[in-house]
A and B are shown apart, each in its own frame.
Chain A
Amino acid sequence: MALDQTDINTIAHLARLQVDEGDMEQYVHNLSDILGFVEQMNGVDTSNVTPMAHPLDATQRLRQDVVSERDQREKFQANAPQVEDGLYLVPKVIE
């Protein structure tokens, strides 16, 4: 699978990643190589195979819908780049 710069730009946008112009050629090359490598999977007949999501085929464990965590907002927000009045600040979204 050969990708081009347009593909890389689309993928990078979906992943919300800034890709520097100078690195573009290397991403085109590396990602094409990786996708080419994983194409070995294509020839395998898996029409009757159930996909495996969990090694032990376990299912989701459920718990009672009760409060199990205490409020530690200030502690958590100590790691945030920008907070005000207990709120996380981001660049203006709505004009």
Chain B
Amino acid sequence: MHNKTVSELSAGLHAGAFSSEELTAHFLRRIESHDGQLNSFITVAGDQALAAARAADQCLASGTAGPLTGIPLAQKDIFCTEGVRTSCGSKMLDNFISPYDATTVSRFNDAGMVMLGKTNMDEFAMGSSNETSFYGAVHNPWQLDMVPGGSSGGSAAAVAARLAPAATGTDTGGSIRQPAALCGLTGLKPTYGRVSRYGMIAFASSLDQGGPMTRSAEDAALLLQVMAGFDERDSTSVDTPVPNYSAGLNDGLEGLKIGLPKEYFAEGLDSHVAAAIEQAIDAYRKLGATIVDISLPNTHLAVPTYYVVAPAECSTNLSRFDGVRFGYRCEDPVDLTDMYKRSRGEGFGAEVKRRIMVGTYALSSGYYDAYYLQAQKIRRLISDDFRRAFADVDVIMGPTTPTVAFGMNSHSDDPVAMYLSDIYTIAANLAGLPAMSVPAGFVDGLPVGLQLIGDYFAESRLLNIAHRYQQVTDWHTQAPAAFS
């Protein structure tokens, strides 16, 4: 049962091959028996899941079920869930029970999906290896001494290990696509504003975007259908119609123009990863696509720009954690300042504190123009690179990451080296463009991700392009041996 995709499970549930309660119990047993090796869940909500599954079975029996009714799902622990702890991977929120559901959560609940639990993540989504979580590192199911990527590393590991059929993630600089690549999943970061940020704990508000992490593009389309749409509770939610994401999955790719940015194949890219990507491009040629060499000349500025914009917004967003209204409070504060400083000093981990301090510095008097304003201007240059590219091509392709999964603890003393693992993913966040990662082979037994970047609101086209590739390849169907 656990090797089936969401679409296959949906067919099985509607045909009565198994019930949602059986399916949910099966995944809960797998979490129980396998997650000790992975640490992919922070909280398992077994009782609530079984209750939701029984309700779903009633809908299936009465004929009121939708396509996703009764299918289990894991939520990244950044999405607020009423009545189930939402920790964001931090000691700061270890005791936080949200009084409301995130829009993404209530939309999935309304669709009848069954939440298995909350997945592990880098603390406040700040990390690329899932090693900054207060709840311990997550292990990559393909090789347990490797990182799963981050920050949505728990979601990626859980879906890759067949502990959940699908999961949600969030992507501020690559946090859906990079772990999807490192764990062999299909991950989609939608256009900024397409998916509501309401109840998704904020890291960098002008970059954050939620999206699905699944085992196929077909499944990603089903989940995005639920997640996408206008939400008046999110001030940057975009009010444009949501297309049927599954309708065009099988459209032909004849005449598709694929742009390959030379900057994404330059120094720093592992040669074996490069070879896998070139093979994927070849597959697209055979599907009728035309390959065009392009340039995104400001690519090298994306990571430095991001590490001003994201910390600046993080330092502002995380000022809400003050030990007064919710979250961790230190013991015996002597006065208010002591309470703020020690609650935050003790409640946040090292990477979060580093980023708050970088952001505080970049926004402080006398430095704002040199850092934040300059970064916002370069952000425009990066965005203009894409605008020019999309005048000539339909989609941009390249590697999702410069290497396959790296060893645990290998970058822990060097934040800048860690930041460079997001070198190909960050620009899409700065520009607000939709982007995906799809499995495109293996190097030394570890998955390689092919990145697809589309023009604004081109999610349907991206899903179509990914789906057609998955019909002629089987990288996305492979499971790590220990978890198959």
Closest CB in chain A relative to B355 CB, distance in Å: 9
- Chain A neighbourhood of B358, CB < 8 A: 31, 34-35
| CB-based contact B383/A76 at 8 Å | no
Task: Indicate which residue in B193, B300, B346, B383 contacts A52 across the interface (CB closer than 8 Å).
Answer: B383
| CB-based contact B360/A55 at 8 Å | no
- Docked CA distance A77–B432 (Å): 36
- In the complex, what residue of chain A is closest to B315 when comparing beta carbons? A15
| CB-based contact B99/A51 at 8 Å | no
The number of chain A residues with a CB under 8 A from chain B is 54
Produce 1/0 per residue, B280-297, CB < 8 A to A: 000000000000000000
Cβ of A12 under 8 Å from chain B:
yes
- Most chain A beta-carbon neighbours within 10 Å: one of B238, B414, B416: B416
| CB-based contact B354/A27 at 8 Å | yes
- Most chain B beta-carbon neighbours within 10 Å: one of A7, A12, A41, A92: A41
- Chain A neighbourhood of B235, CB < 8 A: 60-61
| CB-based contact A16/B341 at 8 Å | yes
- Chain B neighbourhood of A66, CB < 8 A: none
| CB-based contact A91/B335 at 8 Å | yes
| CB-based contact A18/B342 at 8 Å | yes
- In the complex, what residue of chain B is closest to A88 when comparing beta carbons? B324
Cβ of A40 under 8 Å from chain B:
yes
- Chain B neighbourhood of A33, CB < 8 A: 414-416
Closest CB in chain A relative to B313 CB, distance in Å: 11
- Chain A neighbourhood of B431, CB < 8 A: 55
Cβ of A79 under 8 Å from chain B:
yes
| CB-based contact B308/A53 at 8 Å | no
- Chain A neighbourhood of B379, CB < 8 A: 51-52
| CB-based contact B415/A52 at 8 Å | no
- Docked CA distance A21–B471 (Å): 57
Q: Which of A12-62 contact B (CB under 8 A)?
A: 12-20, 23, 26-27, 30-31, 33-35, 37-42, 44, 46, 49-56, 58, 60-61
| CB-based contact B432/A18 at 8 Å | no
| CB-based contact B341/A91 at 8 Å | no
- Chain A neighbourhood of B54, CB < 8 A: none
Q: Which of B269-310 contact A (CB under 8 A)?
A: 300-301, 303-305, 307-308
Q: Which of B444-477 contact A (CB under 8 A)?
A: 456
- Docked CA distance A12–B341 (Å): 9
- In the complex, what residue of chain A is closest to B346 when comparing beta carbons? A18
| CB-based contact A56/B344 at 8 Å | no
- Docked CA distance A22–B341 (Å): 16
- Chain B neighbourhood of A20, CB < 8 A: 345
- Docked CA distance A9–B323 (Å): 21
Task: Indicate which residue in A19, A40, A81 contacts B301 across the interface (CB closer than 8 Å).
Answer: A40
- Chain B neighbourhood of A17, CB < 8 A: 341, 344-345, 348, 353, 356-357
Produce 1/0 per residue, B323-347, CB < 8 A to A: 1111111000111111111101110
- Chain B neighbourhood of A34, CB < 8 A: 307, 354, 358, 415-416
| CB-based contact B99/A46 at 8 Å | no
Produce 1/0 per residue, B360-375, CB < 8 A to A: 1100100000110111
Task: Indicate which residue in A13, A26, A78, A90 contacts B99 across the interface (CB closer than 8 Å).
Answer: A78
- Docked CA distance A77–B326 (Å): 8
- In the complex, what residue of chain B is closest to A89 when comparing beta carbons? B324
Closest CB in chain A relative to B456 CB, distance in Å: 7
- Docked CA distance A61–B379 (Å): 23
Cβ of B378 under 8 Å from chain A:
yes
Cβ of B107 under 8 Å from chain A:
no
Closest CB in chain A relative to B255 CB, distance in Å: 28
Cβ of B236 under 8 Å from chain A:
yes
Cβ of A6 under 8 Å from chain B:
no
Task: Indicate which residue in B238, B323, B338, B419 contacts A81 across the interface (CB closer than 8 Å).
Answer: B323
- Docked CA distance A17–B381 (Å): 34
Q: Which of A63-95 contact B (CB under 8 A)?
A: 63, 72, 75-82, 88, 90-93
- Docked CA distance A77–B341 (Å): 22
| CB-based contact A54/B301 at 8 Å | no
Cβ of B232 under 8 Å from chain A:
yes
| CB-based contact A11/B373 at 8 Å | no
Q: Which of B70-124 contact A (CB under 8 A)?
A: 95-97, 99
- Docked CA distance A20–B350 (Å): 11
| CB-based contact B380/A52 at 8 Å | yes
Cβ of B143 under 8 Å from chain A:
no
Contacts A27-B353, A37-B304 aside, 5 further interface pairs with beta carbons under 8 A come to: A34-B354, A40-B304, A41-B371, A52-B380, A90-B339
A-B complex: 7 closest residue pairs judged by Cβ atoms:
A55-B432, A18-B345, A51-B376, A46-B377, A81-B329, A79-B326, A52-B380
25 contacts across the A-B interface (CB closer than 8 A): A8-B357, A11-B360, A14-B364, A16-B337, A27-B354, A37-B304, A38-B305, A44-B377, A44-B381, A46-B377, A52-B379, A52-B380, A54-B192, A55-B206, A56-B456, A58-B193, A60-B235, A79-B96, A79-B326, A80-B326, A88-B325, A90-B336, A91-B334, A91-B335, A93-B335
